[in-house]
Amino acid sequence: MSADVLERAAGGGLDTRPPSSGAPRPTATATATAAARRRLRGIRPGLVLAWLVIAVAVAWALVPWLFTGQDPLAGVPADKLQAPSAAHLFGTDAIGRDLFTRVVYGAVHSLSGAFVAVTVGLVGGTLLGVLAGSLGGAVDAVVMRLVDVLLAIPGLLLALSIIILLGFGTVNAAIAVGVGSIAAFARLSRSEVVRVRQADYVEAAIGSGARLHAVLFRHVLPNSLTSVVGLAALQFGTAILAISTLGFLGYGAPPPTPEWGLLIAEGRNYVATSWWLTVLPGLVVVAVVLSANRISHALGRTR
């Protein structure tokens, strides 16, 4: 080391700080902006669009009068079979009723029916799956054989059989669709319960003397319901499609109820001349079902 450097060090003038790289340090604003950009890049436009479609459908079901001021049951014969226009976004049907209004007011029937169907399948299937997976042995064998029988029956045939026993109507159709989905929920919930039961923390809880029902509610169920919730979102879209199918076949809501499947059925006689009677309600059903499926896949990836 040279003499002048030693002299500056002795006099306190030596700069002992590391040399600067020359690059400016990022400010707090720049850091926040970069973090916001990373979050925006992580947003999937398809998922946002799916949530938006579901939100609009739910809003139609809850507050339909905010989207249209017309009567879904009263028609103007002079305006029958008009094509889509500014006055009638989806056109009019054979007796002059505004089709967009009927689609909006029909959301409550289709969505509530799907909710009932998913609830029946979720509660019944999860209960059976948890019992089979937690108790095992003969209970597991009996429950899973019952599930195999349900899976062996085509879903539409099973739903039609239940509707014949219960009677027609949206609620009965929803219950029939829900019973058909019990098997899927039972198999998934059983497999998840069996997987979680083999975890070390569950074995430790059982070994420490905790009761079975306490272990199930504190450890097993919270850690095994994520996949079941994803299946519920998927079954929601499937239930809408199944209820619309039953309505199209005449086993759902009776006329003049503005149910989505029934709307498509009422327009099938005018496909050649008035395409909007079947195409536009059908596109609404497709959009809602695909959106529910997209949300289901997103929930499945968060496991």
- For residue 55, which of 111, 109, 114, 116 has the smallest C-alpha distance? 111
- pLDDT tens-digit map of 147-161: 999 888 888 888 888
More confident residue, 136 or 148: 148
Question: Which residues, at least 6 apart from 157, have a Cβ–Cβ distance to it below 8 Å?
Answer: none
- pLDDT tens-digit map of 179-209: 989 999 999 888 888 888 777 777 677 777 7
Q: What is the pLDDT of residue 33?
A: 62
- pLDDT tens-digit map of 59-78: 999 999 999 989 999 888 88
Q: What is the pLDDT of residue 136?
A: 79
Burial of residue 119 (number of CB atoms within 10 Å: 0-12, 13-18, 19+): middle
Burial of residue 65 (number of CB atoms within 10 Å: 0-12, 13-18, 19+): exposed
- pLDDT, the chain, mean: 83
Strand partners, 112: none
Q: What is the pLDDT of residue 207?
A: 72
Q: What is the pLDDT of residue 42?
A: 55
Distance from the Cα of residue 115 to its chain's centroid:
10
Query: CA distances (Å), 154 to each of 146, 163, 167, 183, 297, in order?
Result: 15, 14, 20, 12, 24
Q: What is the pLDDT of residue 22?
A: 52
Report the alpha-carbon distance of residue 183 to residue 152 in Å, rounded: 10
More confident residue, 71 or 33: 71
Burial of residue 124 (number of CB atoms within 10 Å: 0-12, 13-18, 19+): middle
Arithmetic mean of pLDDT, 235-255: 88
Q: What is the pLDDT of residue 4?
A: 53
Q: How confident is the model at residue 107 (pLDDT cuts 50, 70, 90)?
A: very high
Specify the pTM. Answer: 0.77
Q: Where do the structural domains in the chain lie, given as residue ranges?
A: 46-68+77-301
Amino acid letter, residue 55? A
Burial of residue 267 (number of CB atoms within 10 Å: 0-12, 13-18, 19+): buried
Arithmetic mean of pLDDT, 204-226: 73
- pLDDT tens-digit map of 249-278: 888 888 888 999 999 998 988 988 999 999
Yes or no: is domain 46-68+77-301 CATH 1.20.140.10? no
Report the b/e string of 127-165 with b at 16+ CB within 10 A: ebbbbbbbeeeeebeebbeebeebeeeebbebbbebbee
